[in-house]
Structure 1
Amino acid sequence: MLRRIVLSVILALALITTVPTQAQAAYADGAAIGAAFMGGFPAQASLGLTGQFNGVPLMFGLTGRILFTDNYQHFGIGFTMDWWGLKIPLLQDSVGIHFYLGPGLGLSADFGSKYWNINAALRVPIGFSFIFAKNWEVFVELAPSVNALSIGSGGFRLLGIYIGDGGSGWAFDSFFGFAGQLGFRYWF
C-alpha cells in the first residue's frame, strides 16, 4: 500500500512538472513524459520516469530500486541528465526510427544492509527511438559510464582509484558502469 502511494505521488509530481501549458507536437523539441525499465552493471534492475521540459534540450530520468530479502535490504535512487547532441532520422515512413547519441551525467545514491554509496558518473546514452503513433515513442538505450566520484561505506574513490588509508587500488566495477533501458514516452 505504501509503495503504491509513493509511486502515485512520484508520478503526479513528474506529470505536474513536465506537462507544458501549451501542447506542442514536435518530436525531441517539446515536452515529454514516460516510463522505463532499466538494468545495468553494477546496479540492479530498476523502474523509472523519463521526461523533457518544453524549451530545455535535456532528457531527464529518475529511477528507483528496492530489494528486500530475509538477509538483505537495498534501496537506491538515480538521476540522469542527457543531451542528445546527435539525432539522426533513419526511417521516415509509417514508423519514424531515430538514432541518438550524446553526453550525459548520472547521480545515484544506494543504501543497503551495512552499505551506502553516493556516485557521480559521466555517461554516453546511445539509443534508438521508434515513433509508432502520433506523439508516442518507444525507445531502447545503452549508456556506458565512467564513475567520476564515489563516496560510501567502501571508501572514497576518484575515477575508480581508492583514496585513503589502507587503499585497495583501482577496481573495474568502481570505474566503469553500464546501463540499458527500454521504455516509452509521450511527446506534448
Structure 2
Amino acid sequence: MDRKVYVLLTDTGTIFTKTIKQYTRAPYNHSSIALDSELLELYSFGRRNPKNPLYGGFVKEDVLQGTYKLYPQTTCAVYEINVSERQIAKMRRMINLFEKNKSRMLYNIFGVIGIALKEPLEPWGSYFCSQFVAELLERSGVKLWDKIPALVTPDDFRKSDKTKLIYEGLLLEYPAVRKRKIDDDFGCT
C-alpha cells in the first residue's frame, strides 16, 4: 500500500439535503471519490445541472464550480484510504468506462429508497453517490465493509476503521481547495 485515494463527504445545506438528514441523522449526505488529495480528480453520481437536484448521473465534480459554487457554505469531511498502485490503475480504468458511458448513466433514486427499506434496488446503469464510490473501491479490491455497495451510505465511510479523517470543516477552507481558490482569484496557474 503506497498510494491513497480520498472520500469527500459533503453537506451543501440545501432543502433536499436537510430533508435527507432528517431521515439519516448523519452529518453528511453526499460522497465522492478523489484520486488526489487536491480533489481535482473528483467523481460521483450527483447533479448534472447544479440548479436541478432531480437531473443526476455520473459527474466529474469541481469543488470551485457547479453545485459547490452555488453553496459556498458547504461543510465536508475528507477521508483517506490506503491503496496500491494497481488498485488506482483499476479505478482509473473503471472511471474511464463511466466517462465513456455517462450519457446512459442515471442517478439511482430507487436505490436511495432501497436503503431505507434495507433492500438493494439496482437498476442497470444507475447509481447513487455512495453506491458508486463503494462499487469503485470494491471492484478495485478495496473492501471497507461486509456490505454490498447498493446498501452503503455516505455515513458508512465516516464509520469505517479503514478510512482516516484528514480534514473536517468548510469545503472552501480545505487547504488544497483554499490554495486553488486563492490562485484562481489572483489568476495564478
TM-score by length of 1: 0.23
Larger proportion of strand: 1
Larger-gyration structure (1/2)? 1
Larger proportion of helix: 2
Q: Relative contact order: is structure 1 or structure 2 higher (C-alpha 8 Å, sep ≥ 6)?
A: 2
TM-score by length of 2: 0.23
